[in-house]
């Protein structure tokens, strides 16, 4: 089916028409001004998620803060329950399940606030180079599913940070959501054997 909306301006005011075409034929109808709600800027229709991945496919996550060690959590297989998450590096132990699941939720729901430069020559000017803080997600086959890189704060934008996700582009996101990401071992390693998340 294809729907086209037209606006006709006349002395009596604007009139709106809809033409619907499908396999059975065409229908033309006059409608109210609500039809203009379909008049959207293409940018408004763009997916606002920073990362594209299926949470249920993630079996391993790697967190690295600037200058810090990689913190690796792993649950072994897709079929394993959330209770199976374990810290495997830099020291092995039970993971705080709440922290792991919160991190997955935060990454899956991270949204783009603004779009910037595409394929910049200098990622470092945004703090998005190889030294940046990041989270990498992996599937059961060991392949990387997604990577979330956190750069410098955006000038004059409260809680705004430059980030890089699935798109090879500089993006801006709300840094207040990053508190759910465990970049320190003590944030995710359950030393007491309980889920202290």
Note the pLDDT tens digit of each residue in 113-146. Answer: 999 999 999 999 999 999 999 999 999 999 999 9
Q: Tokens 């299926």, residue? A: 54
| The pair of three-digit structure tokens given for residue 44, joined into one six-digit string | 């408004």
pLDDT in tens, 73-96: 999 999 999 999 999 999 999 999
pLDDT in tens, 12-58: 778 888 888 888 888 888 887 766 565 555 555 556 889 999 999 99
Cβ atoms within 10 Å of 8's Cβ, excluding its own: 10
In sequence order, the β-bridge partners of residue 16 are 7, 31
- Residue 29's alpha-carbon distances to 21, 25, 35, 121, 181, in angstroms, are 12, 13, 11, 52, 52
Count helices and strands in the chain by DSSP H and E runs: 2, 12
Q: Is the pLDDT of residue 148 over 60?
A: yes
Cβ atoms within 10 Å of 154's Cβ, excluding its own: 20
Per-residue pLDDT, 197: 45
pTM beyond 0.85: the answer is: no
Q: According to the 3-state scheme, what is the secondary structure of 84-127? A: HCEEEECCCEEECHHHHHHHHHHHHHCECCEEEEECCCCHHHHC
In sequence order, the β-bridge partners of residue 153 are 161
Per-residue pLDDT, 35: 60
Per-residue pLDDT, 10: 76
Is residue 94 within 8 A of residue 196, CB to CB? The reply is no
Is residue 65 within 8 A of residue 184, CB to CB? The reply is yes
Per-residue pLDDT, 39: 57
The mean pLDDT value of the chain amounts to 88
Give the residue-averaged pLDDT of 168-195.
87
């Amino acid at each position: 089916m294809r729907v086209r909306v037209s606006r006709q301006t006349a002395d009596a005011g604007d009139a709106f028409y809809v033409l619907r075409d499908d396999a059975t034929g065409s229908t033309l109808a006059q409608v109210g001004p609500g039809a203009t709600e379909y008049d959207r800027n293409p940018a408004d229709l763009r997916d606002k998620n920073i990362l594209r991945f299926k949470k249920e496919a993630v079996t391993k996550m790697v967190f690295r803060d600037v200058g810090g060690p990689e913190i690796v959590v792993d649950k072994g297989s897709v079929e394993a329950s959330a209770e199976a998450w374990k810290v495997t590096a830099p020291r092995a132990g039970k993971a705080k399940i709440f922290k792991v699941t919160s991190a997955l939720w935060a990454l899956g729901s991270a949204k783009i606030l603004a779009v910037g430069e595409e394929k910049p020559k200098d990622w470092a000017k945004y703090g998005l180079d190889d030294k940046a803080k990041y989270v990498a997600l992996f599937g059961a086959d060991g392949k990387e599913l997604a990577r979330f890189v956190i750069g410098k704060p955006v000038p004059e934008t409260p809680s705004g940070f430059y980030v890089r996700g699935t798109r090879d582009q500089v993006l801006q996101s709300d840094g207040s959501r990053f508190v759910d990401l465990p970049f320190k071992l003590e944030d995710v390693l359950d030393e007491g054997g309980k889920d202290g998340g």
